[in-house]
Amino acid sequence: MSDRPETPVLDHAFYKIMLKRRTALIAVLLGLAALLLVLNIALGSSPISLGEVFRVLLTGTGRGNNLLIIRDIRLPMSLMALAVGAALGMGGCEIQTILRNPIASPFTLGITNAATFGAALGLILNTNVLKVSESVMVTANAFVFALLASVCIYAFSTRAGAGKGSIVLFGIALNFFFTALTMILQYVSDSEDLKSLVFWNMGSLLKTNWTKLFIVLGALLFCFIIFYKNAWKLTAMTLDDTKAKSLGVDVQKIRRMVIILTSLVTAFAVSFVGSIGFVGIIAPHIARQLVGEDQRYFLTLSALIGAVVVALSFTISKIIIPGVVLPIGLVTAIVGIPVFLSIIFREMEAM
């Protein structure tokens, strides 16, 4: 699990080797992501052969409806699995970094539960917060409330004296608050609406289209670039606050930046595909074990592992019961938990 050499060395050659291993690891995960992308395009209610997938992707022509199916449905859906996973992995990595808490994730800040409440408003009360067309009402509601939670937590984090402890507490308060509000709606709803809310909450990639994909990808890339530019400052966030300040890092400013960017990208991801939990915790956890906390690698690898985990879950969700696509959120948890536990057990044994 470690990328450090066994024997102590007296010059920095070991560091160079370590960086090479890290780069190689990133390349491997990129390959894995590409592989899962192709696999996800091939798999579905009517399987398409891998050769045909490549032909459609490379030449833009295909047999029968294959071009249409791949271009309009499977490609955006499979890319969305990667994008959402990367967004949650990246978000988890940065939230854990600024709160210095390895079990924090974007969900700790209350964003997901706020989105669920927004969705519930649409599904149960038919409230259309943004007055948009009926078809995107639920998504728009979820986004508005996710953003509302983000603004709350951002406003809180700008207060003087808001440290990592108080931000977590505020997030917990938001979580309970929105859960309670959702429960009130559930209490008054009829069974049909209740069912659709339950399904929404399980997470689904099936309603993906290119517009949604581009929004999530845009937000993802935007945040990634900004985080990557601040990689050293973010790495310094693992230090004591005072120490980080003494290196010229504006600790408060970095915290606020991470909160607003992560909330944004999580809000998009969650409102489009529902709550895909857990990735935000496990992806950075695995990445930290593999490459440590140098953000140039930690950030990149967290995003890639997140992408691979969700893409893998998507593949599995399609093959467990042939012809049925299980909700992605559930499968992610079921696939993720054994992986996560095995890592924890291995760490305990290593101690």
Binds other proteins (CB under 8 A): choice among 21, 67, 207, 293: 293
Nearer to other proteins, 130 or 344 (CB): 344
**Is position 245 an interface residue for other proteins (rule: CB under 8 A)?**
yes
CB-based burial of residue 271 (10 Å sphere; 0-12 exposed, 13-18 middle, 19+ buried)? buried
Number of residues that bind other proteins (CB under 8 A): 32
Q: Considering beta carbons, is residue 1 or 58 the nearer one to other proteins?
A: 1
- Contact between 171 and 109 under an 8 Å Cβ cutoff? The reply is yes
Which residue among 71, 100, 154, 316 contacts other proteins (CB under 8 A)? 100
DSSP 3-state of 250:
coil
Q: Is residue 232 near other proteins by the rule CB under 8 A?
A: yes
Question: What is the smallest separation between the CB atom of 30 and other proteins, expressed in angstroms?
Answer: 18
Min separation Cβ 103 and other proteins, Å = 14
Among 92, 110, 292, 329, binds other proteins (CB under 8 A): 292
Six token digits for residue 13? 């050659």
DSSP letter, residue 108: G
Closer CB to other proteins, residue 52 or residue 94?
A: 94
Say whether residue 246 binds other proteins (CB under 8 A): yes
Helix axes 279-291, 328-350, angle to 10 degrees: 40
Measured at the CA of 219, the angle between CA 202 and CA 250, to 5 degrees, comes to 110
> Which is nearer to other proteins, 20 or 63 (by Cβ)?
20
- Please report whether residue 9 would count as binding other proteins according to CB under 8 A: yes
d(CA 226, CA 288): 20
Locate tokens 């289209």: which residue? 209
Contact (Cβ atoms closer than 8 angstroms) between residue 297 and residue 291: yes
CA gap 42, 54 in Å, rounded: 10
Binders of other proteins among 250-289, rule CB under 8 A? 250, 288
CB of 321 to other proteins, least distance (A): 40
Cβ neighbours for 161, distance < 8 A, ≥ 6 positions apart: none
Residues in contact with other proteins by the rule CB under 8 A: 4-5, 8-12, 14-15, 18, 100, 231-233, 235-236, 238-240, 242-243, 245-250, 288, 292-294, 296
